[in-house]
Chains A and B, each alone.
Chain A
């Protein structure tokens, strides 16, 4: 290189080509394997296509058909139940476990039982809980021992089947929420805590006035994660009920899978995928905007 004064050019110019070389593999793989399919799915959602021949442009007909189907609405409602249920139960219990183990001797060990299920696959959870919740399964036997013989059909009656699957997921998800909240609690500075305690704040008042506001940034992350994950619920439902009986426990992700890969309704399946994406993005954007604006006001 003849240029003796490196400061004469900005690094952006000096390393223009090698910088492009370093970012190229990432951009290429993401563009070809994620964005291209994304665009293709969006296009297919406006067509009639079953994998054979060419896709035929039909405008918004798939979307009209989708919303005309009462069972699709059922699937939307189930998905909303998943979002609400997984916010209430695993996030709530996770926060509770984190608060109870906070500064507690042996807290690490008391937290352990909740952490064991976390790294299980959705299908692993489904295998265990299908066994427990099956007719005359482990739960029914336990209830019978207490004299309760007339138990509901956990995985058959709707919407009970969705509720028990949410509880099975909660069994898995409490641990990671407890872990995240614990890290949040540990990072709270000592001074305001000591000050509040000197002022006589304990228990719920301490929680409301000091802990909760200080956990706020982490809570935003935990709730955001939970919403996005629950909107995409697939594995555990496919593993436990396959969306049935009928389509009573289907979530949007299952409806998309069934229309696409079981019924070969590629256009309709794509429209459901697009709908799921719009809902996910809208939830994420609305949630973040609300969080950011209320932060500015406070």
Chain B
């Protein structure tokens, strides 16, 4: 196909793809008074910031922003370190039956999350972890570990074992070798895992739905869903503004780190 045809086909398809984004932007910008559900395609006024402010107030979205940031930073950070430690034990320290332990950890991602929902809910209720930030951090950390261990084991396999032996001859302890030699070498992999898992946690709906309830614990996407079912009819432009607010961080992060993302996804298999 000639370049002109290819460009035209892509441009037309691309415009179609942007239509929902256009609709989101113009309707999220309409003041609740000017918004009508029958004139969706025409922009009227620009009250986006007022709508975002209102959305933050409704359904506890503001509180959710803070706690979701906490989850999306702390859980992947812990998971990355725990995964790296597991990879280090298997590859550098040549843990006995290392591959079996690796399969055990990685196996944690194989089954659907539906398998852990009810026992987690039940156990969390009994242990007073239900609807706590601490409980959310633990569960997000646990589900991020298998992927993290997978990537880190692959990464450390690429480091020559002589690096480890040289550090031992210098008299460094294993703990020191891990912190000062292996972790710094793996910084790009650590960042890639962190970004992928942070995005996943930011976008989580189901765990938040099952394991939390109050505004200041509920993650942001779960709050958005609540807001949609409560105010979706009467205050549509506010809900759309909320959707925009919730989506912006991950969309921007993704657009700037596409390659990381795609590689991580391909690796994750």
Contact = CB atoms under 8 A, between A and B. Distances in A.
A37 B119 contact: yes
Contact of B221 (A118, A123, A141): A123
Interface in B43-96: 82-83, 85-86, 88-90, 93-96
B34 interface: no
Contacts of A270: 118
Contact of B116 (A6, A38, A93, A225): A38
B145 interface: yes
B234 interface: no
B112 A22 contact: no
B225 interface: yes
Interface stretch (A58-66, A96-104, A147-155, A208-216): A96-104
Contact of B269 (A111, A127, A224, A277): A224
Interface of B: 1, 3, 6-7, 9-11, 13-15, 17-18, 20-21, 23-24, 27, 37-41, 82-83, 85-86, 88-90, 93-96, 98, 101, 104-105, 108, 110-123, 138-139, 141-143, 145-146, 149, 165, 168, 174-175, 178, 199, 202-206, 210, 221-222, 224-225, 228, 232, 236, 239-240, 242-243, 246-247, 250-251, 253-255, 258-259, 261-263, 265-266, 269
B224 A123 contact: yes
A140 to B, nearest CB: 9
B21 to A, nearest CB: 6
Contacts of A247: none
A32 B94 CA distance: 24
A122 interface: yes
A242 B90 CA distance: 44
A40 B86 CA distance: 26
Contacts of A280: 111-112
Interface pairs A-B: 9 shortest CB-CB: A119-B254, A22-B89, A33-B142, A37-B119, A19-B93, A121-B203, A113-B14, A37-B116, A138-B40
Interface stretch (A68-76, A80-88, A175-183, A189-197): A175-183
B17 A114 contact: yes
A128 interface: yes
A106 to B, nearest CB: 7
A261 B125 CA distance: 13
Interface of A: 6, 10-12, 15-16, 18-23, 25-27, 29-38, 40-42, 44, 51, 93, 97, 100-101, 104-106, 110-124, 126-132, 134, 136-138, 141-142, 171, 174, 176, 179-180, 183, 203, 218, 221, 224-225, 231-232, 234-235, 238-239, 253, 256-257, 260-261, 266, 269-270, 272-274, 276-277, 280-281, 284
Contacts of B27: 131
Nearest to A11: B94
B142 A117 contact: no
Given A34-B108, A120-B247, A127-B239, A100 B6 contact: yes
B96 A12 contact: yes
A29 B258 contact: no
Contacts of B118: 37, 40-41, 44, 260, 266, 269-270, 273
Given A23-B95, A119-B251, A127 B224 contact: yes
27 contacts: A6-B165, A6-B168, A12-B95, A16-B96, A22-B85, A30-B142, A30-B146, A35-B108, A100-B9, A110-B14, A115-B254, A119-B247, A119-B250, A119-B255, A120-B203, A121-B247, A123-B224, A124-B203, A124-B224, A128-B240, A128-B243, A129-B20, A130-B228, A131-B23, A138-B40, A257-B114, A276-B112
Contacts of B110: 281, 284
B176 to A, nearest CB: 11
A25 B82 contact: yes
A4 B246 CA distance: 60
Given A12-B96, A30-B104, A34-B143, A105 B117 contact: no
Nearest to A202: B1
Nearest to B224: A123
Contacts of B253: 119
Given A26-B86, A231-B112, A123 B250 contact: no
Contacts of A18: 89, 93, 174-175
Given A15-B93, A26-B82, A26-B105, A33 B205 contact: no
Nearest to A106: B7
B21 A238 contact: no
B202 A121 contact: yes
Contact of B205 (A26, A122, A266): A122
Contacts of A120: 203, 247, 250-251
A41 B112 CA distance: 12
Contacts of B40: 131-132, 137-138, 141
A40 B88 CA distance: 31
B7 A104 contact: yes
